[in-house]
Amino acid sequence: MGDKIVSVYWFAILFIVAGAVVFMVYSFYGEPYDVRNAEAQKLTDRTVECFLNGVRLDEFFRDEGFSDNFLENCDLNFETEEIYGWEKSGQYFVSVEISDFVSGEEIFSHEEGNSDLAESCALNGRGFPVCFSRGVYVLDSEGNQYKLSILSVVRKTEKNVN
Amino acid sequence: MRQLKRANILTENIIFIILNLVFLSILVLFLFSKMGAAAVLEEKYAKEIALIIDSAEPVMTVTLDMSDAIEIAIKEGVAPGKIVSIDGNVVKVVLGGEGGYSYSFFNDVDVVASFDSQNGGRYIFFITEK
């Protein structure tokens, strides 16, 4: 009789363990891989590379029409898959600012993509777009010093966060 | 009488142990089935390929070991050459019959995905300038 009671309790424990394992597996594998941080970092790196010629600041950003064809000039494509209405709202944003390192005077500034996304950078939480910013000290071919500031934002929330 | 009781105890214990083993085996099988589920791998590879392309420079060739995904695709009746497709700047990975998983990349390059039939289990990505 005692053995039977023990075995009933034993199976109850097994079912509790099984329930916990199933819950943990579903909560772990049901969660999508969040790759937006890697994407935002890479987008920043690509944008920095776009403004550099080797290790020097490339002067071609001063060309007329550079900003109008920013994506083409920097080999970027902000189109996304047609899902969740992404194609209408835009899932990327990049902001570039070049200023004189000594005086701080702004020399060039450009924003590309969905500018609404930048507003969420001050907010914390998994459901918000991921922001990544970087400031780079660069010299031009004549040795003048500049600061290149890049902010990249990636949304794509629906495919990266539950 | 005593021998009969001993035999009963032995049978009960054996049944108890077998039931426990069956229970644990089902649990382990459940875990492995979830780990290697087609939907999980579709998402994993679509995002991994998109990140690889974002980091690549033209002209570059990237080889990716996808043997676990290819094994599942073959079981599901998907031809290995049709697992990965790239349309514009969207990667799509299909391992089962439910439409697959798509993810976009921002690097404006031309990419051709090709199944490595000579060394099965791998995909090769040829990245060229647009």
Say whether both A8 and A77 belong to one domain.
Answer: no
Say whether both A5 and A43 belong to one domain.
Answer: no
Say whether both A91 and A146 belong to one domain.
Answer: yes
**Chain mean position to CA B81:** 15
Say whether both B19 and B70 belong to one domain.
Answer: no
Q: Is the pLDDT of residue A60 over 70?
A: yes
Q: Give dist(CA A136, CA A138) in Å, integer.
A: 6
Number of domains chain B is built from: 2
Say whether both B30 and B59 belong to one domain.
Answer: no
Q: Give dist(CA B48, CA A39) in Å, integer.
A: 11
Q: With contact defined as beta carbons under 8 Å apart, do A130 and A36 qualify? A: yes
SS3 content of chain B, % helix, strand, coil (to 5): 50, 25, 25
Q: Which pLDDT score is estimated for A126?
A: 83
pLDDT tens profile A114-134: 999 999 998 888 889 999 999
β-strands B109-116, A145-154: how paired?
unpaired
Say whether both A1 and A39 belong to one domain.
Answer: no
Contacts of B37 in chain A (CB under 8 A): 29
Q: Is the pLDDT of residue B4 over 70?
A: no
Those of residues 88-127 in A touching chain B at CB distance below 8 A are 91-92
Highest mean pLDDT among A53-57, B6-10, B107-111: B107-111
Mean pLDDT of chain B: 89
Q: Which pLDDT score is estimated for A104?
A: 93
Say whether both A66 and A17 belong to one domain.
Answer: no
Q: Which pLDDT score is estimated for A37?
A: 95
A103 to chain B, minimum CA–CA distance in Å? 34
Say whether both B65 and B5 belong to one domain.
Answer: no
Say whether both B99 and B125 belong to one domain.
Answer: yes
Say whether both A82 and A114 belong to one domain.
Answer: yes
Q: Is the pLDDT of residue B29 over 70?
A: yes
Q: Which pLDDT score is estimated for A97?
A: 97
Cβ pair B106:A7 closer than 8 A: no
Range(s) of the domain holding residue B31: 1-35
pLDDT band at B72 (very low <50, low <70, confident <90, very high): very high
- Sign of the torsion angle spanned by Cα atoms B109, B113, B114, B119: positive
Q: Which pLDDT score is estimated for B2?
A: 63
Say whether both A134 and A102 belong to one domain.
Answer: yes
Say whether both B49 and B14 belong to one domain.
Answer: no
Q: Which pLDDT score is estimated for A24?
A: 85
Q: Is the pLDDT of residue A6 over 70?
A: no
Average pLDDT of span A72-88? 92
Say whether both A129 and A112 belong to one domain.
Answer: yes
Say whether both B122 and B102 belong to one domain.
Answer: yes
Say whether both B52 and B79 belong to one domain.
Answer: yes
Range(s) of the domain holding residue A21: 1-30
Q: Is the pLDDT of residue B129 over 60?
A: yes
Say whether both A25 and A42 belong to one domain.
Answer: no
Q: Is the pLDDT of residue A45 over 80?
A: yes
Say whether both B42 and B29 belong to one domain.
Answer: no
Cβ pair A46:B107 closer than 8 A: yes
Cβ pair B47:A33 closer than 8 A: yes
Q: DSSP string covering A93-139, please?
A: EEEEEEEETTT--EEEEEEEE-GGGGGGGG--STTSPEEEEEEEEEE
Say whether both B20 and B31 belong to one domain.
Answer: yes
User: What is the ipTM for the molecules in this complex?
Assistant: 0.85
Say whether both A50 and A91 belong to one domain.
Answer: yes
With an 8 Å Cβ cutoff, is B104 touching chain A?
yes
Q: Which pLDDT score is estimated for A15?
A: 83
Taking the CA atoms of chain A, what radius of gyration do you get in angstroms? 25
Cis amide prior to B59 (ω within 30 degrees): yes
pLDDT tens profile A9-31: 877 888 888 888 888 888 877 78
Say whether both A13 and A88 belong to one domain.
Answer: no
Say whether both A9 and A64 belong to one domain.
Answer: no
Q: Is the pLDDT of residue A1 over 70?
A: no
Task: State whether residue A55 is helix, strand or coil.
Answer: coil
